[in-house]
Structures are given as structure tokens and as C-alpha cells.
Amino acid sequence: MMNKPKIRIATTSLAGCFGCHMSFLDMDERLVALLEQVELNRSPLTDIKHCGPCDIGLIEGGVCNAENVHVLREFRDNCKILIAVGACAINGGVPSMRNHFTLRECLIETYVNGVGVENPQIPVDVELPLLLDKVHPIHDIVRVDYYLPGCPPSPDEFLQVLGALLEGKEPALPKKLIHYD
Amino acid sequence: MKTAATQNTLTIDGQEIPFHDGQTIMDAALAAGVYIPHLCHRPGLTPHGSCKLCTVEINGKNASACTLPAASGQQVSNNTPALNEVRKTITQMLFIEGNHICPSCEKTGNCTLQAVARHLGMLDGHFPQFFPRREVDASHATVMLDRDRCILCELCVRASREIDGKNVFAIAGRGIEAHLIVNSASGKLADSDLETGDMAAHICPVGAILIKQHGYEVPIGMRTFDLHQVGEVGLEQVVLSKTKHHDE
């Protein structure tokens, strides 16, 4: 019997905390069965640095700096299906709470007036991605195919949506799995 | 002239519902255990008709169930895909107009806005986020006012006037400028006559008005809407009693 080509999935965390990735890993032994059908492309789990052509891209986190924009666009260009994973990707989440303040206020609070800061200075280096004025949900930048809410989405949510996509079905979340916290 | 008021009936989604003269469609529905999604309505307070989530179709026309008097022979459509889609859109607009960051909000799990959104299957905000800058009022010793989460339902306004016999809150401004104001010389809660035991301090369906020093007493996962569906009729009492603490 011919082996079916594996579904290629890429994942990334933009302005997120990697909590969604941890929840993805919390599929635990169910990952074994999933990996029979799936191979990972760019992901913090593989350390592949650039996204190649993929079937599914999972984006954790919102968009807070220029690098996030580049990475997000690379995913959109390469992934047939792009999924916003978790509260931050969907509405900016906790990082977007800085949108109440100017960027300058945030930098001064953190690097100049922050508790325990020695040699206070606002970091400036060409290696550092420039921060955006505001934190954005990813659908402000690219088209998004599906949304997986939660902080983080539960492993069951990942399974529900990925399982449906692997079977070629339209993914749908039962209401009991929907949560925003 | 009508003599037996209880003989009045209307139908909601084909189900026959009795009503008394003076009841609204919402009153009749709640009494019969039929859920019509709503946020700005609370039995016992004057109906407000502002959130429009309870929009139903009556004999082909849309109206707010919480304000429209029940009348004999009304054919009401409530739980239809079309109405629920509109309700979901209204809910999405409520989310994106304010700053509703559920993971950082103490109200999560007890929040009716969140529970309604889940009931309607909301997955995202759909529209661009407004990220408005709104004033937080932490001046009061026991009550916190975070306008980021206010949905302008006026439940606190009505509870203060109609139940507490005070007049602590009001809505000022119009359209996108509309915001909750506090009736005191300084405009601060600390200088108002709001007290912890007031219904106005407990009735907020979102996390805009919170009681201080009782955060996270009920763990996430054990909260009202972790244990109940928003469609359960009579839940208002559960929500209120759970947010009230035994030593208050």
C-alpha cells in the first residue's frame, strides 16, 4: 500500500507566550497518532528557520513588531490554510494591553523606570526588530482561514480542528470547547 | 373585555407560551423557560431595549423581546440561524468596541458577555479592534470601575436608581463617545454614595464593576458559566450570589 503524503504543518509564536504551543504538546500520546499523518515544517519544535510550502500554518500571538509582520506574511504566502491560534492571535490578547499607552511610555516604564533596572537605557540595536506603535490581531495583517480561541486553546480544540482538516472536512468547534480564557 | 388573562397565548418557535397582560415577550419567555439571548435585561428592572441581542421576529417584523408587550396570537421566531447570526455580529461588535481581554479579566467564567458569545459560537471579533482608551476608577475602597469592559447596558444605572434608591451611575456622551459616569462632585466612585452591598455594585454582566479584595476566590473552571449554560433561565440569581462574598 502506498504511503499517503504527510500533511505539512508549520507553527510559530509571534507576540505570544508559547502557551499555545505548550497546549499543542499537551495532546501528549495523541501526538504520536497525529505525527503518523503530519510532518512539521518551520516551528519552534523543529527549529527550521523559514516556512516552506505547507498545508496548514498555526499562528500563536498577535503582531507587535516588524519581524512579526515578516514572519506572518511568510506563513500566509506558504500555507494553504492559516489558523489564528489563541486569544493573542485573535484579538491581540494581553500584549495588546500596551495599546492603552504610547510606545514611548511603555519603553520608559520598562527600561528606564522599571523596578531593579541598572544603567537605564532604551535598547537600540539593528539586530532588534522595531516595535510597532500598537499590537494587532493577525487578521489586521493577513487573511485568516480559521480561529481557535482560548488562552490557550485546549489540546482537544487542536485535535478537533486538525482532525477535521486531515479528513478534508470543514472544521467546527462544539460550543463546549469554545472559551476565551 | 378580557377576563381570563391567563388564556392569552403567543407562540415562540412554534411553542405555545401563555402570558399575562402587562408582560413583555421576554417576561413570557422566561416564565416558560424559553431562553432569548440578552445582556441589558434583568427581571425586576425596567426594560432598556438597548443591547438588541433579544431581537426576535414577530409576524415578520424584528423587535426587542424585552420591551415589546406580549399580545395574543403573536408568532415569534427566536432561535433561528438568521437571528443568531445577527446576535453573534452584535456580540462581536461589543467585543471589539471595548477592551475585552478575557485572560486578564477577573470576571472570566462569570461574564455574561463571554457566555453569550460562547452560546452564539463566536470564534473571533471579525471587525478591526478599536482598542479605545478609557478611564479606570480605582478610587473607591471596595468597588473597582474599569470602563474598558463597559458595554453600556445600564444595568448598574437602573439597579442604583430602582433597587438601591440612589443615583450613582449614568451614561454620558453619544455614539462612540458614550461612557459610564459617576454621580459625585469629583466624578470619582470614592466620592459617590455607592456601597459594597448595593445591587449596582454586583449587577455588572461584564468585568466593568468588580468588588475589590475578592478576586479569584472562585477558581477558573468552577465559575458560573463553567458550571451552567447561559441559556438556563433564572441564572441571574446564581450570578449575583456567586459574586457576593459571605463577609460582605
CATH class of the A7-96+132-177 domain in this structure: alpha beta
Task: Kindly state the cell numbers that stand for B81.
Answer: 440561524
**pTM, entire model:** 0.93
Can you give the pLDDT at residue B5? 47
Can you give the pLDDT at residue B237? 72
A179 Cα to chain B: minimum distance (Å): 7
Can you give the pLDDT at residue A4? 79
Span B37-69, pLDDT tens digits: 999 999 999 999 999 999 999 999 999 999 999
Cβ of A92 within 8 Å of Cβ of B131? The answer is yes
Distance between CA A5 and CA B226 in Å, rounded?
41
Q: How many CB atoms lie within 10 A of CB B128?
A: 11
- The verdict on B129 touching A (C-beta cutoff 8 Å) is yes
A92: left (phi over 0), alpha (psi -120 to 50) or beta: left
Cβ proximity of B131 and A92 under 8 Å: yes
CA proximity to A71, closest of A5, A134, A157, A142: A142
What does the longest C-alpha to C-alpha distance in chain A come to?
Answer: 65
Can you give the pLDDT at residue A52? 95
Cβ of A173 within 8 Å of Cβ of B100? The answer is no
Q: How many CB atoms lie within 10 A of CB B142?
A: 16
What residue spans define the domains of chain B? Answer: 5-79, 101-243
Cβ of B103 within 8 Å of Cβ of A94? The answer is yes
Q: How many CB atoms lie within 10 A of CB B201?
A: 27
Strand partners, B210: B144
What is the mean pLDDT for each group of 10 consecutive residues in chain A (181 residues)?
A: 83 98 97 95 94 97 98 98 98 96 96 94 94 97 97 96 95 93 92
What residue spans define the domains of chain A? Answer: 7-96+132-177
Can you give the pLDDT at residue B234? 78
Span A10-58, pLDDT tens digits: 999 999 999 999 999 999 999 999 999 999 999 999 989 999 999 999 9
Closest chain A residue to B120 measured between Cα atoms? A175
The CATH number that domain B101-243 falls under is: 3.30.70.20
Residues in chain B: 248
pLDDT digit of tens for each residue in chain B (248 aa)?
444 444 799 999 999 999 999 999 999 999 999 999 999 999 999 999 999 999 999 999 999 999 999 999 999 999 999 999 999 999 999 999 999 999 999 999 999 999 999 999 999 999 999 999 999 999 999 999 999 999 999 999 999 999 999 999 999 999 989 999 999 999 999 999 999 999 999 999 999 999 999 999 999 989 999 999 999 987 877 676 655 544 54
What ipTM score was computed for the predicted complex, to two decimals? Answer: 0.92
Can you give the pLDDT at residue B247? 53
Cβ proximity of A78 and A108 under 8 Å: no
Closest chain A residue to B126 measured between Cα atoms? A139
E-state strands within B49-201:
55-58, 61-64, 75-77, 136-137, 143-146, 169-172, 179-182
Task: Find chain A residues with C-beta within 8 A of B109's C-beta.
Answer: 181
State how far the alpha carbon of B97 is from the alpha carbons of A59, A132, B106, B177, in Å.
Answer: 24, 21, 19, 11
Nearest to A151 among B103, B109, B117 (CB): B103
The CATH number that domain B5-79 falls under is: 3.10.20.740
Nearest to A87 among B102, B117, B131 (CB): B102
Task: Find chain A residues with C-beta within 8 A of B128's C-beta.
Answer: 140
Can you give the pLDDT at residue B244? 52
CA proximity to B199, closest of B170, B226, B237, B225: B237
State how far the alpha carbon of B203 is from the alpha carbons of A102, B39, B41, B244, in Å.
Answer: 33, 11, 11, 10
